[in-house]
A and B are shown apart, each in its own frame.
Chain A
Amino acid sequence: MNFLTEIERDSLCELFNISLGGAAKLMSEMISDEILLTVPSLNLITTEEAKNIEYLANQDVCTIEQKFVGGIGDGSAFLLFHKSASLEIVKMMMKDYVALNEVSQFEKDALSEIGNIILNAILSNLAKMSDYKIETHIPEFFAGKYEELLLKRKSKTDNSILLVFIDYKLSGKDIKGYIFFVLNFDSIKNLSRVLIEKLK
């Protein structure tokens, strides 16, 4: 199994910490509520290991995937909610714009838009801090079992993927979600090298 040195791990954690602060602010603005974030937990694991993460395995989820290409390589960023929380989030976002009984019609579109804004903010910061150019695609929405999401994306060249999991929680509500990134090992190693150079 590939591994990251302590300094590589620290540099990446710092990057995601800074990026997520801005993303949390944006999400708070969209849903008019406070977002509490955990410190990023960085794990370099295989797809098989990722499938068995305790709090997500067998769960119905909604995700928005933002694929990206650029100097650091190709990858994907995901914003993930438990299915049970997704409609609640959309209600919070849309309450001034449509009647409550119409909110469900906008679920897919509203979640895609939240994903688009949050993930682009993180990726833009990542580009800025690393000096890599990153181009993003139109976000894609997925609803189903968490495992199906990962089955679709087994890497052809590299069985290891980096999962940077960040839990977030809405203040005063029983709503939790996750942001994670899938990149192959070479890309993430490269990114950490650039960050370390910049920190010197």
Chain B
Amino acid sequence: MSQKKALIVDDSTVTRLMIRKIILDKYPEWDILEASSADDAKTLLSDHQDIDFFTLDQNMPGNLSGLDLAEDLKKNYKNTKVVLITANIQDAIKNRAKTIGIDFVEKPVTAEKIIPHLD
């Protein structure tokens, strides 16, 4: 079986560190990539198109939000799992995530919230 690959997109180093550890504690063999904005993630994707799992922060610096990037990913990576990580728990965000067809996790991130989305 080929090695799985995850991309964590979040402007907070601390949150990236936490999600990385949660994933690797469960699946030490996974390859983890990180980006600090949606724009950086898009650049990374030009070299890595075989991502199995994305976590996207909603509010990041730059022109694209997590939901904007999620919309793009769902068009181009149809079988990839995408999870929106958000501190902004307004209904509008949840509803748009549901419309796009992605899951969401409310901050703070914990292993209990992330692990169910990994399988």
Q: Which residues of A contact B (CB under 8 A)?
A: 26, 29-30, 93-94, 96-98, 106, 109-110, 112-113, 116-117, 120-121, 124, 127-128, 133-134, 136, 138
Question: Quick one: given A98-B17, A138-B11, A138-B61, are A26 and B108 in contact (CB under 8 Å)?
Answer: yes
CA distance A93 to B107 in the complex (A): 13
CA distance A29 to B110 in the complex (A): 9
Question: Quick one: given A121-B87, A127-B90, A136-B59, are A109 and B13 in contact (CB under 8 Å)?
Answer: yes
A-B contact count (CB 8 A): 54
Across the two chains, which residue of chain A brings its CB closest to B57?
Answer: A116
Across the two chains, which residue of chain A brings its CB closest to B11?
Answer: A138
Residues of A within 8 A of B14 (CB): 93-94, 97, 106, 109-110, 113
CA distance A113 to B110 in the complex (A): 14
CA distance A127 to B92 in the complex (A): 11
Q: Are A109 and B89 in contact (CB under 8 A)?
A: no
Nearest 6 Cβ contacts at the A-B interface: A120-B87, A117-B87, A30-B108, A117-B107, A124-B89, A110-B14
Residues of B within 8 A of A138 (CB): 11, 59-61
Q: Are A136 and B88 in contact (CB under 8 A)?
A: yes
Chain A contact residues: over half helix, strand or loop, or mixed? helix
Q: Is B12 close to A, CB under 8 A?
A: yes
Residues of B within 8 A of A26 (CB): 107-108
Residues of A within 8 A of B15 (CB): 113
Residues of A within 8 A of B89 (CB): 120-121, 124
Q: Are A124 and B61 in contact (CB under 8 A)?
A: no
Q: Are B11 and A29 in contact (CB under 8 A)?
A: no
Contact partner of B21 among A30, A97, A121, CB < 8 A? A97
CA distance A96 to B19 in the complex (A): 12
Residues of A within 8 A of B110 (CB): 29
Min distance, Cβ B9 to any Cβ of chain A, angstroms: 14
Q: Are A97 and B90 in contact (CB under 8 A)?
A: no
Q: Is B47 close to A, CB under 8 A?
A: no
Which of chain B's residues 4-18 have a Cβ closer than 8 Å to chain A?
11-15, 17-18
Residues of A within 8 A of B12 (CB): 109, 112-113, 116
